[in-house]
């Protein structure tokens, strides 16, 4: 009986609504449903991001132990090649090879037309601002950034000033003298759509060793910076 009265009550409530009130109520319900879907998508993206890093870390550790051609999962079209750590802010992420759309969905990736970290020139690592590089805004000048390569070599870079630039006017030179590291992501951080601006953190290798003559890289880095 109570269930029948409850149903009748809801029906009576809806019957008493004017046409305008009905439209307004429907709009509120649609907005609420859309909000739930967005929240669910946010949780899904976060869970996907964190779970993929677990699998990527296993793949990277296998490479450190001498295994070759290790894929994080069988259908992946990329592999792991390094791990980046920002000790002061307690952030770590596995870096992938090739900044393709698929790779960037799972972690930071080195742009393929830039040298590996620690090699002559400027190595560029890119990631999305809402997942793996959301902490980039917290990196301050003087912070240390530690790169562990798949060959087991550990490299320490010191962060310099950050800057904001258009993707096609980034000023990043893959052939620059020295051994440099650039971390890049979209900007502003709170935006929900991709725009032309990039947030760029420059860093230099901390070493007293003499640098060998720079080898030339043939392709430009600017077009690749537009992919994230």
The radius of gyration of the chain from alpha carbons, rounded to an integer in Å, stands at 24
pLDDT, greater one: 101 or 228: 101
Q: What is the pLDDT of residues 159-201, one digit of tens each?
A: 999 999 999 999 999 999 999 999 999 999 988 788 899 999 9
> Is the distance from CB of 107 to CB of 52 less than 8 angstroms?
yes
CB 97 within 8 A of CB 191: no
- The mean-pLDDT minimum among 39-43, 110-114, 135-139 falls in 39-43
Q: Determine the CATH number of domain 46-225.
A: 2.40.260.10
Kindly give the pairing relationship between strand 109-110 and strand 144-149: unpaired
**Per-domain residue ranges of the chain:** 46-225
Q: Please tell me the predicted confidence (pLDDT) of residue 89.
A: 97
Mean pLDDT of the chain: 78
For the segment 15-53, what is each residue's pLDDT rounded down to a tens digit? Answer: 555 565 555 445 545 654 554 444 444 444 555 556 777
The confidence score (pLDDT) of residue 4 equals: 52
Q: Which residues contact 211 (CB under 8 A, 6 or more apart)?
A: 120, 177, 178, 179
Q: Which stretch of 102-111, 120-129, 146-155 has the lowest confidence by average pLDDT?
A: 102-111
Q: Note whether 96 and 110 are within 8 A (CB).
A: yes
> What span, in angstroms and rounded, lies between the C-alpha atoms of 48 and 26?
33
Distance CA 151, CA 147 (A): 11
Specify the pLDDT at position 216. Answer: 41
């Amino acid at each position: 009986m109570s269930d029948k009265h409850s149903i009748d009550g809801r029906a009576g409530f809806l019957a008493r609504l004017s046409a305008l009130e009905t439209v307004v109520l429907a709009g509120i319900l649609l907005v609420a449903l859309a909000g739930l879907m967005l929240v669910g998508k946010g949780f899904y993206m976060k869970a996907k991001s964190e779970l993929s890093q677990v699998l990527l870390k296993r793949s990277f550790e296998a490479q450190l132990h001498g295994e070759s051609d290790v894929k994080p999962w069988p259908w992946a079209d990329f592999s792991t090649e390094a791990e980046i750590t920002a000790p002061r802010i307690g952030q770590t992420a596995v870096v992938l090879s090739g900044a393709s759309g698929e790779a960037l969905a799972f972690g930071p990736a080195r742009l393929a037309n830039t040298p590996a970290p620690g090699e002559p020139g400027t190595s560029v690592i890119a990631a999305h601002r809402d997942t793996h590089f959301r902490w980039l805004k917290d990196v301050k000048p003087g912070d240390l950034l530690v790169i562990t390569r798949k060959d087991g070599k550990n490299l320490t870079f010191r962060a310099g000033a950050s800057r904001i630039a258009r993707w096609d006017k980034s000023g990043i030179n893959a052939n620059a003298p020295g051994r440099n590291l650039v971390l890049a992501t979209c900007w502003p951080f709170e935006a929900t759509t991709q725009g032309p601006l990039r947030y760029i953190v420059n860093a230099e290798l901390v070493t007293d060793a003499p640098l060998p003559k720079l080898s030339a890289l043939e392709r430009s880095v600017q077009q690749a910076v537009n992919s994230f």
